[in-house]
Amino acid sequence: MDLVQKVIEGQRPAIARMITLAENEAPEATQALRQLYPSTGRAYIVGITGPPGAGKSTLTDKLVKELRKRGKTVGIIAIDPTSPFTGGAILGDRIRMSDLALDDGVFIRSMGTRGSLGGLSKATSAAIKILDAAGFDYIFIETVGVGQSEVDIVKTADTVIVVSVPGLGDDIQAIKAGILEIGDLFVVNKADREGAERVVIELNQMLELNPNMGAWYPPVLKAIASQNKGIEEIVENINKHADFLQESGELMQRRKERLSNEIFDLILRQVSFRITSKLKEENFWEQELDQILAKEKNPYDIVQRVIKEILA
């Protein structure tokens, strides 16, 4: 496909068009991704997550500018929540990084979650492959804003940065179930605020108590992203973690696990789509709903019948 070649050449309109096709789950997107796949696997993927208001977009902006100073090209995928009522998303991260949009070495794409849980969009994986094939050295993924279930970023990124901030009421957002385990770097942003040092101490204490700690001990770093303070140190630690993963062989293991998860998700999505389409097409349970409501039948037998007939 002509579009595939243009993506490999790094042409921005082609990259944008390809990501849109992937978001819309267009049939031609799958064929294009097949052709792009041999050109992937070179980019280093950095995930940035943390509570709303922690300054993730500002931090991303400054980290990308620091990498650009070092001659690296960067793709950014910024995930915003989608309204369950209108289906719309504000996609405001672009506004906070507006000056980066003028840099030829940076590509920014805002994406709505479109109902997907876990802090990412369904099309995030495809967008990563497209930016990777386009030749970007780093790909940054900024999640919606971490909650107890929004840990999908660990299945997607090579290095995960968990951003915290003092004074949000819940000082240790990171101790919420699952969040402490996903961080490779912890950044206490807005460190000029009162209580920043306490957050650093508490994070370190919680990390010491983590029974699943491996050979890499996540550093807890302070930053004031709005003033560009602490940014160089964060970039250095991203590179240190990348070196550690490469030397220990864990990078390949992480990417293998990621590939396994991705294939599993793709299978589930295809199966779910086909089952849903068939159910809508044939109105499988429409005639039995009244009987279920009258307690003459039960939903569990209907489910078994539907699965048996469709899978057959």
Residue type, 58: T
Whether residue 203 sits in one domain with residue 58: yes
Residue 23 lies in a domain: no
Residue 25 lies in a domain: no
pLDDT given at position 121: 55
Average the pLDDT over 32-51 and give the result. Answer: 92
User: Looking at the chain, how many residues does it have?
Assistant: 312
pLDDT given at position 135: 96
Residue 150 lies in a domain: yes
Which DSSP symbol is given to 54?
Answer: S
Looking at the chain, list the stretches that DSSP marks H as alpha helix, in order from N- to C-terminal side: 2-8, 12-23, 27-36, 56-69, 93-96, 124-133, 179-182, 196-208, 231-248, 250-282, 289-293, 299-311
Whether residue 212 sits in one domain with residue 289: no
Tokens 């998860």 found at = 261
* Residue whose C-alpha is closest to residue 201's, from 230, 248, 164: 164
* Residue whose C-alpha is closest to residue 221's, from 235, 234, 205, 208: 234
Phi, psi of 190 (to 5 degrees): 55, 45
**Does 293 score more than 60 pLDDT?**
yes
Q: Which residue has the higher pLDDT, 23 or 80?
A: 23
Whether residue 288 sits in one domain with residue 159: no
Whether residue 210 sits in one domain with residue 89: yes
Whether residue 280 sits in one domain with residue 188: no
Q: Which domain holds residue 279?
A: 262-311
CA distance 25 to 48: 25
From 200, 222, 248, give the residue that closes a domain: 248
Confidence of residue 87 (pLDDT cuts 50, 70, 90): very low
What pLDDT, in 10s, does the model give residues 101-131? 778 999 999 887 544 444 445 688 899 999 9
Average the pLDDT over 11-38 and give the result. Answer: 92
Q: Which residue has the higher pLDDT, 67 or 274?
A: 67
What pLDDT, in 10s, does the model give residues 218-256? 999 999 999 999 999 999 999 999 999 999 999 999 899
Whether residue 162 sits in one domain with residue 65: yes
CA distance 221 to 235: 11
Residue 4 lies in a domain: no
CATH of the domain at 179: 3.40.50.300
Report yes or no: 188 and 164 within 8 Å, Cβ to Cβ. yes
Residue 208 lies in a domain: yes
Whether residue 188 sits in one domain with residue 64: yes
Whether residue 186 sits in one domain with residue 80: yes
Whether residue 270 sits in one domain with residue 220: no
Report yes or no: 291 and 297 within 8 Å, Cβ to Cβ. yes
Residues contacting residue 237 through CB under 8 Å, at least 6 positions apart? 185, 219, 221
Report yes or no: 7 and 98 within 8 Å, Cβ to Cβ. no
**Kind and range of the H or E element at 79?**
strand 74-80
What pLDDT, in 10s, does the model give residues 193-218? 998 998 898 888 888 887 777 889 99
CA distance 68 to 154: 25
Report yes or no: 223 and 59 within 8 Å, Cβ to Cβ. yes
Whether residue 57 sits in one domain with residue 162: yes
> In the structure encoding, which two tokens stand for residue 152, read together?
């999908």
Whether residue 152 sits in one domain with residue 62: yes
How many structural domains is the chain composed of? 2
Residue 212 lies in a domain: yes
Residue 174 lies in a domain: yes
Q: Which residue has the higher pLDDT, 92 or 5?
A: 5
